Structure formats: structure tokens, C-alpha cells
Amino acid sequence: MSDWGTIPDLVRWSAERYADTEAVVEGRTRITYGELGARVERAAAACLASGVRAGDRVAVWAPNTPDWIVSALGAVTAGAVLVPLNTRFKGTEAADVLRRSGARLLFVTGTFLGASYVASLRRGAGQGVPDAGRGPLPGLPELEEVVVLSEDAPPDFRTWKDFLAGGEGVGAAEVRARSAELDGADVSDIIYTSGTTGRPKGAVITHTQTLRAYAIWADLAGLRAGDRYLIINPFFHTFGYKAGVIACLMRGATMIPQPVFNVETALANIAAERVSVLPGPPTLLQSLLDHPSRDAYDLSALRLVVTGAAVVPLTLVERLRTELGVGTVLTAYGLSEASGIVTMCRRGDEPSVIASTSGRAIPGTELRLVDAKGASVDTGTPGEVLVRGFNVMRGYYEDAEATSEAISADGWLRTGDVGVLDSSGNLRITDRIKDMFIVGGFNAYPAEIEQLLALHPAVREAAVIGVPDARLGEVAKAFVVRHPGSVLTSDDLIAWARREMANYKVPRAVEFVGELPRNASGKVVKGALRGRG
């Protein structure tokens, strides 16, 4: 890792070391590492020409495409701080993050999933903002330029082609001089969290934190040169950008970005591109395994799967190994505030460890589990997960109050997650603190109940929430997705649950659904279920 002080160092290093290796593949588009390095430098030159200064925030609001990679790495090479925007955002939400981050340049997709992001942003930017201000969008006075990643753009915006042409007068020496001014301690990106506890907050992460964390991730996963990596995890999320793009740059692996999760597209990509690496949430992997036409595709190149969630059924790990012949299946746990990675299983761990835990703390980090008073809890006892180490964010961007609430004076990050440590130091996440509910005095952890329900042969997946109960305070309600063709009834499942789990955990109501609501990173949106509860 000594070759990379900053992300621009890594980009140039990979362009030289893996010059003729395919870096990015999208359909007929084939970009080698040498070509990717040249494209990134060209984008950086255009950023300099447009007035981007070191430390300026530059946002990208687009799906997984080669242009996302080039524009984002180009901005960082020009010394900017990357602000990735969630593609699920509506215009008002995107405008809020642009405003609070003070972004001066935005790269935005044209039309995605039938929606015009430009039109959505125009509507959202001016909402509730009386002063139009300067710049191309009313209500966003610090946003000086918007570049549309397509061949046409409104008159007050620029196309990607025109933007790049604007940098032709900036030489390579000037670009390299700018990136040489960067230091590993400088901020590389601000990742705005999903906002499950209110509006999103920006986790501030440095170059060194990113590089160190994902060198470790690549080592533990066993990512290697020649791997072909299907990146379905969205680039705006740490799992897609850092465990995807950054890790591939480190190892010379080929990136195959997929903008939207579609099972048939994923199967076709895996077969046609001989994909060997496929990280993603359990639901993605489950849908591949269960697809009726799966056997029509050659999936034999798959060798490495990395997943992570509160619930990873043991059957999923076993099926990936036996049915698809995947040699390495690993689970991990992380959050944006800790550079996206806290714990990870190791190659060679037993399937039961991989399915039931998220592995052990990565090198350079410490874990503690504490009770509501902040006292450490014993092995096997649930507590809030605290993490301390090189990976903990600098803080929330321009939010000292939220930062002091999240990080203690001695450097411990309060994750808000509830977990249990076993005697080997493996962490099992049981829930978010706010998701826990109390049934007649007993703490009930939805993820634990979900894992038990998933053992029923007719249950594909389940999500559990607490609902009010006159006698017990709260009780469990389960939203269940059945396997195709199943005739399981709610009475059947409740009766089964009474035989398989403690009475206070048993769902008092079951609602069958076609699918569970999820955010872009694959996590179930419990708030949407509570609205129906």
C-alpha cells in the first residue's frame, strides 16, 4: 500500500501496472486500465479548467456506469471531495444534500429509470427557497456548474462531451501538480448516510482511511488480478464505490457495472463476462439461486461472494457453495461512519460462522459492546456495538453536535447497532437499537426472529416489527415472502413459530407480501412496514 498516498496515486499506479488489462466493461465498451487512467486525467483537467479548487465538493448523481467512475475519480484527482448522491433520491432530497455539502459542481445522469433527474432537480432545488441566488439552479447558490452525463443538456447546463473539451488546454503536468498537493489526511469523500434516523448526515472520510480499509478488504476477500467483478451494489454507496471501484483498482480486477438489479441481466452478465466476484445483499443472491432459468446460464466462473446483513440464512451459504460451486462466501459488517467496514469473516471460516456472524474486527480496529449505561457487557450478551480505530470518520460534515453524539471523547463510535460477540470475537448483529421492542418485559430483537422464521421451508424471507399490544405493550408482526407455489397460511406459520421459539418472540400476526421494501443498499426499510403495521 506504500505506493498509494492518495486515491489519485492509486489511479495512476493501476494505469501503469495493469495498463493492458480490461478495467471497465459495459456491453461493447471495453476500457483498459491505461485508457481509464487517461480518461480520469482528462476529466481532472476539465475540472481544473472549470475552476475546481482543492477541497471543493463535487457531487455525482448517476447510476453505475463508466462515466460515474471517470467523473468521480477525475474530480478526486483534481483535489475535490467527492459527494455521491443516492439515485433513489427525489429532487428535493438531492438538492438538500447539494445545499448542505456546498457542492460547486454536479455531474448528473440524463434520464434514468424513465425519470429526468435534471427536471427533478429543478423542481426540488427551488422548493421553500425564496432567494434564487446565482448559479444554474435557483436555491443552490454555491452550485456553479451542472454537467449532464449524456449527449444533450439544457442550455444552462453542459454536456459531458463539452465539459471534457473545456479541459483540453490544461496539461498533464498541471493535473499532476494539483493531485501532488494532496495528502493522505485530506478528505476524499463525504458519504451521506441513508437518513433512517432523520435527514442524511455526511460522514467525512480521508484518502488514507479509504485506501487502508479497502486494501484490508481486498486482502481478506482474496480479490486478485484477473478477477471479473460484477458491481451491482450502487456506486453512491461505500459497498459499490470502495469495495467495488477502489478495490478493483488495487488488484487490477475488471469492473462490470450494472446500473439496476435485474435477475436476468445479472445472470446474463455473469455468463457472458465470466464473472468471478459478486458481492451483494442476501436478497440479490437468493433471487439468482431461485430464478427458474438459472441453469440456462453458465455461472461456473463465480468463485467469490461477499454479503452482509443482519440475517444471512445458513441455507444461502450452503446453496452458493453446493449449487453454484462458489469457493469463497464471506459476510461482513460496516457503516458509512466507519469507512464502510468494521468486521469481516476470514476465508476458511466454518459455514455456520459465516452465516450466523459478520466475522471479526478488521486489523487496526477495536470493538466493544455496551449496555444502556455505557458499561461493557459479557460475551454472549447483547449490547450496542462501539468501534474505534483508523476507519472511524472525521465526523459529520459541518455538524459538530451530531459528531459529538456519535463519537466519544476517547474515539469510540456509537454505531446504533445491537450485537453479540462470541468467544472467538465474531460479531453477530441482532438489530438497530431503535428496532428492538419489549414484549412483556423481554427484549425482542427482530433480526433474531427473522432468522428463526427463515428456517421454515416455505419462507423465503421475513421482516419483523413491533406493534402495540394492550396486554404486553408490544408484540411481533411478521411480513413474510413465501417461496413460489407455497400455500403456507399465517395460522400455520404462527403454530410452527410457537414450537420453534420462545413465546415472547412468536409473531402474533403474519402478513404475506410479494416482496419486502428495500433501500438502494438492499436493507429492508422498516419504516415503510411500520406505516402498514
Task: Give this prediction's pTM.
Answer: 0.86
Closest CA to 179 of 23, 345, 373, 8: 8
Alpha carbon separation from 8 to 21, 164, 314 (Å, rounded) = 19, 18, 40
Quote the pLDDT of residue 134. 58
Domain of 418, in residue numbers: 261-432
What are the tens digits of pLDDT across the range 409-434? 999 999 999 899 999 999 998 877 77
The CATH number covering residue 153 comes to 3.40.50.980
Residue 212, CA atoms < 13 Å, CB-side half-sphere: 18
Q: Which value, to the nearest 10 degrees, does the dihedral of the CA atoms of residues 83, 107, 215, 42 take?
A: -130
Q: Alpha-carbon torsion 354, 355, 360, 363, what sign? A: positive
Would you give the DSSP letter of residue 411?
S
Is 4 a member of any domain?
no
What integer is the mean pLDDT of 91-108? 93
Q: Residue 178 is placed in which grid cell?
A: 494539483
Same domain, 331 and 371: yes
Q: Residue 353 is placed in which grid cell?
A: 460462522
The CATH number covering residue 492 comes to 3.30.300.30
Provide the number of structural domains found in the chain. Answer: 3
- Domain C-terminal end among 176, 204, 232: 204
Is 127 a member of any domain?
yes
What integer is the mean pLDDT of 344-349? 96
Quote the pLDDT of residue 385. 96
Same domain, 424 and 441: no
Same domain, 418 and 515: no
What integer is the mean pLDDT of 41-65? 98
Is 285 a member of any domain?
yes
Is 49 a member of any domain?
yes
Determine what percent of the chain is predicted with pLDDT higher than 70.
Answer: 96
Which segments within 158-275 are labelled E, that is strand? 158-159, 187-192, 202-206, 228-231, 254-257
Closest CA to 229 of 301, 332, 290, 328: 301
At 33 the three-state DSSP class reads helix
What are the tens digits of pLDDT across the range 472-489? 878 999 999 999 999 999
Q: From the DSSP assignment, how many helices (H) and strands (E) are in the chain?
A: 18, 27
Same domain, 199 and 313: no
Q: Which long-range contacts (CB under 8 A, 24 or more apart) does 361-366 make?
A: 361/387, 361/389, 361/425, 361/427, 362/213, 362/216, 362/217, 362/220, 362/391, 363/216, 364/212, 364/216, 364/389, 364/390, 364/391, 365/338, 365/389, 365/390, 365/391
Is 222 a member of any domain?
no
